[in-house]
Amino acid sequence: MEGILLHILGAIATFLLAFFVGMTYGGIRRKVIARVQNRYGPPIYQNFIDAFKLFSKTTAVHHGAMHLLGPAFLIVSAVMALMVVPVLRDNLWFTNLNFHGDLIFLIYIMVFGPLGMALGAGQTGNPNSAIGVTRGLSQMVGFEIPWVMALVAIMIKYNTTSIVDLMNIQNEVGQWLIFQNPFAFIAAILASLGMFRYAPFNIVGAPTELASGPASENGGKFLFTMMSAGSVFAFVKLTLFVDIFLGGASNLIVLVIKTFLLYMIPVLYGVVNPRYRTEQAVTYFWGWPLLFGFLAIIYSVYF
């Protein structure tokens, strides 16, 4: 019984941590963008204020059952993904379902929410939402290939798909995977540019083109749910990258440093780039990232 209680408390703690870190990173991103554009920028905690304001909106509209379920799908799948990603190494608080952490499972769990959201966006009947969804799905096909190739390279290298095992192996060997198979890391990080959907890959919610795409009919609490799900997702992705490429983290400070450094890659890449067209955003991943994916697999097989 106590074990279960501890697990539940741990899960809540993990969620709060992910929410907090994700939101703060979002705030930092806005600040970074502002500084690059020679602005002062909003305070780092601006995202919390926005989230709280959205939550305290008093009215909302819905267009039917799927529209209500869409954001729910999103947050549920974000939390599910969070539960299977090991946050820290050998830590009692954040174990959750870590021992089930499996890469292929994770990949599929992570598309679950966006697809549910896509259905919700579809039911609103707003043409912009549907266009945004089609763009998002197309882009997913794009970045999934180098991403999967990077993962396959890692899987065959260590003959495991468990994230915990990957972390342990890296610590036993004493060398992070980023050095053992740099090509896999490069392919994965290039794929992550699309995963984070920051410029130049922000084709889904392009505010000036599509009126924020799938989110266009969602205000108030719906938007709050989506925003928190986005923050948790960002944390999940970053933690996953740290786990499989940077050897995981043994305490929260290390985790924050590593994730922050990784987070800056898509952010800084995005700050100086305009938006791609959809087919450019898709085919981008079939150029250099794909090549690195091939190299990663070859490297894993022959070296």
Partner 1 sequence: MDYGIYQDKLTRIVTDIARSHSLWILAYGTGCGAIEVPATMTSRYDAERLGVRGAATPRQADVLMITGYLTVKTLKRVIRVYEQMQDPKYIIGFGSCAINGGMYWDSYNTIKQLDLYLPVDVYISGCMPRPEAVLEGFAKLQEQIRAGEARGATKYKENLDYYRGNQKKIIKNWDFPDYNW
Partner 2 sequence: MDIIILILIVFFAGAVLTAFSEKISTLVQDILFLGTLIVPAILFFTGVEMNTDTIISFNKVPLNLGMTPLSYYFALIVMGLAVLTGVYTVGQMKGKKRKGYFYLNYILSIGAMFGILMSKDLVSFFIFWEIMTWASYLIVIYNGKNVQKIGIKYFVMSAIGAYAMLMAIVLTHSLTGSFLISDLISGFGSWDHGMQILIPVLLLVGFGVKAAIMPLHIWAPDAYSNSPMSYTAIFSGALSKMGVYGMVIVFLALLTKVPEGALIRDIVAWMAAITAAISTLYAIKQDDAKRLLAFSSIGQLGYIVIGVAIGTPMAMLAGLFLAFMHGVFKSTLFMVVGAVEKQTGTTDFTEITGLIRKMPWTFLAALISIIALAGIPPLGGFVGKWMLYESLIQSDHFMLVTLVFFSSTAAFLYCYKILFGFFLGQEEKEWSHVKEAPALMVVPMIILSIISVVLGTFPQLIMKPINAAMTFYGMPDTYGVLWKESMLFNKWGSDIALTPIMYGIMAIFIVVAIFLFFRNRSRTRYVTTKDISTSGEIPKEHENLTFTRGFFQPFLRAVEPVMRKQIDKYMLSFAQGIEDLFEFTRRIYNGNGQSYAIYAMIFLIILLVLGKNLFG
**Distance between CA atoms of residues 73 and 114, nearest Å:** 8
Spatial distance between the Cα atoms of 265 and 271, rounded to a whole number of angstroms? 10
Report the C-alpha gap between 140 and 285 in whole angstroms. 10
250-289: contacts with partner 2 (CB under 8 A): 277-279, 282-283, 286
* Three-state DSSP state, 206: coil
- Residue 102 touches which of partner 1, partner 2, none (Cβ within 5-8 Å per kind): partner 2
Q: Which one of partner 1, partner 2, none interacts with residue 278, CB within 5 to 8 A by kind?
A: partner 2
Single residue of 14, 24, 124, 202 touching partner 2 by CB under 8 A: 124
Q: Which does 32 bind (CB under 5 to 8 A by kind): partner 1, partner 2, none?
A: none
The answer to whether residue 191 forms part of the interface with partner 1 (CB under 8 A) is no
144 binds partner 2 (CB under 8 A): yes
Tokens for 136? Answer: 């998002």
Should residue 122 be labelled a site residue for partner 1 when binding is judged by CB under 8 A? no
Residue 212, amino acid: S
CB under 8 Å to 23, separation ≥6 — which residues?
47, 48, 51, 228, 231
Maximum CA extent, the chain: 61
| Residue 32 in contact with partner 2, rule: CB under 8 A | no
CB of 284 to partner 2, least distance (A): 10
Q: Is the distance from CB of 25 to CB of 234 less than 8 angstroms?
A: yes
- How far is residue 30's CA from residue 36's CA, in Å, rounded to a whole number? 10
Q: Least distance in Å: CB of 224 to partner 2?
A: 11
Contacts of 178 (CB under 8 A, 6+ apart): 185, 245, 246
Q: Is 240 exposed, middle or buried (0-12, 13-18, 19+ CB in 10 A)?
A: buried
Residues 228-287 within binding reach of partner 1 (CB under 8 A): none
Neighbours of 50 (CB within 10 A): 18
- Which residues inside 193-212 make contact with partner 1, applying CB under 8 A? 207-208, 210-212
Applying the rule CB under 8 A, the residues between 17 and 36 that interact with partner 1 are 30, 34
Residue 190 interacts with partner 2 (CB under 8 A)? no
Our finding on whether 53 is near partner 2 (CB under 8 A) is no
Candidate residues 7, 13, 32, 41; the one interacting with partner 1 per rule CB under 8 A = 41
Exactly one of 75, 85, 117, 238 binds partner 2 (CB under 8 A); which one? 75
Binding partner at 161 among partner 2, partner 1, none, C-beta below 5 to 8 Å by kind: partner 2
By CB under 8 A, name the binding residues for partner 1.
Answer: 30, 34, 37-43, 46, 49-50, 52-53, 56-61, 207-208, 210-212, 215-220, 223
